[in-house]
Amino acid sequence: MSELPALPTLPVLPAPALPCEHELVLKVIPMPADSNANGDIFGGWVMAQVDLAGSVLPARYIRGRMATVAVNEFIFKQPVRVGDILSFFSHVTRIGRTSITVEVEVYAERRAGETGQYRKVTEARLTYVAIDAEGRPRAIVLPEVGGAS
């Protein structure tokens, strides 16, 4: 097999500082099919992504079936646009007997020269319930802190 030519040294762009200290749980870019009559992104699409992002941390504790029981708060602070790079950050705010509440913050990196600059577009608080095979709430068994999983 012939040797491949050496690649030129590529310029490496530094990763921009993150806008939030919480865990990055999802990144996604909305497409034109996700837009509303204004040409911005449909709020229901944003809510679906937040619901998915919000489930990531509870899933670590619940380890099985769960359901979203409540969207306790949801604020659309700025419109989301087609092509924005959306970053979803989350943290747990409450662990109850059968439920876990999280906050989710969504930041957009706009296209057209604004990548690396984060604007908060949405914040929300959601609650997820651990459920059994019949769909009834079940107690969450917490792992020992620092122990094996």
Ligand X SMILES: CC(C)(COP(=O)(O)OP(=O)(O)OC[C@H]1O[C@@H](n2cnc3c(N)ncnc32)[C@H](O)[C@@H]1OP(=O)(O)O)[C@@H](O)C(=O)NCCC(=O)NCCS
- CB nearer ligand X, residue 3 or residue 134: 134
Under rule CB under 6 A, residue 116 binds ligand X: no
Of 111 and 136, nearer to ligand X (C-beta) is: 136
* Number of H-type helices and E-type strands within the chain: 1, 5
Among 18, 70, 75, 141, binds ligand X (CB under 6 A): 70
126 touching ligand X, by CB under 6 A: no
Distance between CA atoms of residues 97 and 21, nearest Å: 27
Smallest distance, Å, CB 69 to ligand X?
A: 4
Instruction: Check residue 135 for interaction with ligand X (CB under 6 A).
Output: yes
Start-to-end C-alpha separation, the chain: 47
Q: Does 127 bind ligand X (CB under 6 A)?
A: yes
Residue 129 in the binding site for ligand X (CB under 6 A): yes
Query: Taking the mean position of all CA atoms in its chain, how far away is CA 119?
Result: 15
Q: Is the dihedral of CA 56, 80, 71, 123 positive or negative?
A: positive
Is-contact 23 57, C-beta < 8 A?
yes
Which tokens go with 1? 């097999």
Q: Give least dist CB 75 to ligand X, A.
A: 17
Nearer to ligand X, 56 or 69 (CB): 69
Partners of 89 in the β-ladder: 24, 105
- Cβ proximity to ligand X: between 64 and 135 the closer is 135
CB atoms under 10 Å from CB of 129, counted, come to 22
Kindly tell me which of 88 and 107 has the beta carbon lying closer to ligand X: 88
- 99 is a site residue for ligand X (CB under 6 A): yes
The binder of ligand X chosen from 47, 56, 69, 82 (CB under 6 A):
69
